[in-house]
Amino acid sequence: MAHLKHHRYKELHRKGRTASPSIDAMMREVLHRLGDIDFQYELELDRAELRAPTPESKEHLRRRIRAAHRERREPYVELLATLRQRQHRLAA
C-alpha cells in the first residue's frame, strides 16, 4: 500500500468525488500513472532476465514481478472505471 501514498491515489480518488469538470484531467493523470507502472514493470522483467542465473529462478522472479504489477495497477484501474462512469453520467 505504500506505493499508493507515493502516487497520491487517495488524493485523486477524493478529487473525483467533487470536481466534475476535472474528470478528463484526472483520467489523463491516472492513465499516465498506469503508463509509468507498466514501464517500470517492463524494466523489472528485463532486469530479472539478466539477474536470474537459472530458468527456474527467472520464472520465479517473473511470477513475483507480475503479481506485484497487478496489485500495484489494480487501484488505478478501478479509479479509472469510476471516473469513466461519472463521465458517462454527466454526459447523459
Which positions ≥6 away from 20 have C-beta within 8 Å? Answer: 86, 90
10 Å Cβ neighbour count for 83? Answer: 22
pTM for the whole thing?
0.74
CA distance 2 to 56: 29
| Among 1-15, 45-59, 69-83, the least confident range | 1-15
pLDDT at 90: 87
pLDDT of residue 4: 47
Q: What is the pLDDT of residue 16?
A: 46
C-alpha cell at 60: 520465479
